[in-house]
Structure 1
């Protein structure tokens, strides 16, 4: 899988750290499979065992300047969007997509960025509105793409055979999600992200994700000692998380596990978490 082995060094975190349960997948002999929300029309239907394990989740803000997509696999940035209504698909696919393209280009030095999807999520109970149905937070820790599905989805987005052509010319393709609160501060169901350098390759469990017209593949995550977790407390609307999901370059972190969690002392009257994530492929010329 070329995921980096656990590292001996990492940014020194200070400040707030909490303990909260994350949803991990229990390894099994058969390949895990689940039916997506697009197939079920509601919550995903899973056919494997999930275990909720309390882990320490550190505040990433004190180390934000040291975070690196090629090491930790995620970064936290400040960005004010010009879009007032992130539920307006026309504004999202025009103005907001242009903003995301610029963010990703600057983040990795890309010459081209292709946006192929966006999803809104809410833990309101009914979920957030999307063209393919309402979506709640993804509570199981996962990575959106794998060594198999990454290049396949890349060719779907960039054009048939484009990933291989870019690599043949000495280039690189990186899959990056950009996650933003629609409203802030986030007080429920924040996003936990693993330091990708702390994730051993055998903790990544290839899992079939069944859609109405295709079967995709993602990584679920098995819990192991030594995994390091972070979150950004009370994220605001003018902040974004960049999350790497797949990379053609060897010797760097390729897969960043992430998932939503609830505080153990959660205030039930806090407003629901609403967020939008935009999925991109960035092309870096050789």
Structure 2
């Protein structure tokens, strides 16, 4: 299975800058925001159904070293680190209309996920486009901004509920007897993502027993509530990123895996972060993430 990515690219930072084949730093130091549990011992929650985002937990900021995997992309994979990079230009290019995205981008992405995972079935249930605009609230569902706190997208209960919600009862029961995953397919759109890129924690450095906390997530217009995973700071966490990802490059991010026997990664803590090496004329980040239910026959 090929995972390497060519270094050369036709994309540029802006209309008058050098191509995205700049000298690459091996590591960067950056501030990341981590979950800190409620001081009163109550169950943590975040509520974006109200005009102002409400939550009962705090966040703590720590400066961490983040390794740039440019040129060493094949050192990580879905089942080892919990994420995997790949070069696959999209046929769909505009990413401006939700119905066009579903009609044109979904089918090619389903085939890509199948190719990279060996899954027998892939169901895309959601997507989010993010166009960073300084000063815009990240809680505004019509202007989704990069998520700047280390988190996991799903818990085991939330993942199971996703299957039950998006598939008919006649199918879900049998599918839940086999291995299933939730995987995000993340791609920059329009231009390279030098601005506020993704940092991903290698699952092999995650203390799943102590560092992960389910967080209730209340969302407007949803009958059922979600759970996400709060990630506490641990100096052992090893964060990676791929500097200057282009629209031809994707990263698969494992959000959940029902194969919990310890042989594979089961989730990936991740966050957007402010890269101190971002070129001054880099365009604001624009990206799309697809969320997929991924099923296997075994």
TM-score of Structure 1 vs Structure 2, range by shorter chain: 0.7 to 0.9
| 1:244 and 2:251 aligned | no
Instruction: Determine which of 171, 190, 202 is the counterpart of 1:195.
Output: 202
Q: Distance in 2 between matches of 1:160 and 1:277?
A: 27
Shift, 1:268, TM fit:
5.7
| 1:258 and 2:270 aligned | yes
Q: Distance in 2 between matches of 1:162 and 1:257?
A: 30
Kindly indicate whether the alpha-carbon contact (under 8 Å) linking 1:183 and 1:273 is maintained by their aligned counterparts in 2: no
Name the residue aligned to 1:24: 34
Name the residue aligned to 2:214: 206
TM-score, length-scaled by structure 2 = 0.83
Q: Distance in 1 between matches of 2:25 and 2:284?
A: 25
Name the residue aligned to 1:80: 89
Counterparts of residues 1-286 of structure 1 (less than 5 Å): 16-28=26-38, 29-36=41-48, 39-40=49-50, 44-125=53-134, 132-160=141-169, 162-168=171-177, 171-201=178-208, 202-212=210-220, 213=222, 214-250=224-260, 251=262, 252-264=264-276, 266=278, 269-286=281-298
**Deviations for 1:34-69, whole angstroms, at most 9, x for unmatched residues?**
113xx246x743321111111000012233123211
Structure 1 unaligned blocks of 5 or more: 1-13
Shift, 1:138, TM fit:
0.5
TM-score, length-scaled by structure 1 = 0.87
Kindly indicate whether the alpha-carbon contact (under 8 Å) linking 1:25 and 1:222 is maintained by their aligned counterparts in 2: yes
Q: Distance in 1 between matches of 2:45 and 2:73?
A: 35
Q: Distance in 2 between matches of 1:158 and 1:126?
A: 38
Kindly indicate whether the alpha-carbon contact (under 8 Å) linking 2:126 and 2:291 is maintained by their aligned counterparts in 1: yes
Kindly indicate whether the alpha-carbon contact (under 8 Å) linking 2:28 and 2:276 is maintained by their aligned counterparts in 1: no
Structure 2 unaligned blocks of 5 or more: 1-23
Task: Label 1:108 to 1:285 Cα distance change in 2 as closer, same or farther (>3 A).
Answer: same
Kindly indicate whether the alpha-carbon contact (under 8 Å) linking 1:101 and 1:113 is maintained by their aligned counterparts in 2: yes
Kindly indicate whether the alpha-carbon contact (under 8 Å) linking 1:15 and 1:62 is maintained by their aligned counterparts in 2: no
Q: Report how many residues are paired.
A: 267
Shift, 1:127, TM fit:
5.7
Kindly indicate whether the alpha-carbon contact (under 8 Å) linking 2:36 and 2:232 is maintained by their aligned counterparts in 1: yes
Kindly indicate whether the alpha-carbon contact (under 8 Å) linking 2:191 and 2:283 is maintained by their aligned counterparts in 1: no
Shift, 1:94, TM fit:
1.2
CA RMSD of aligned residues (A): 2.2
Kindly indicate whether the alpha-carbon contact (under 8 Å) linking 1:24 and 1:52 is maintained by their aligned counterparts in 2: yes
Kindly indicate whether the alpha-carbon contact (under 8 Å) linking 1:113 and 1:282 is maintained by their aligned counterparts in 2: yes
SS, match of residue 19 in structure 1? strand
Kindly indicate whether the alpha-carbon contact (under 8 Å) linking 1:32 and 1:47 is maintained by their aligned counterparts in 2: yes
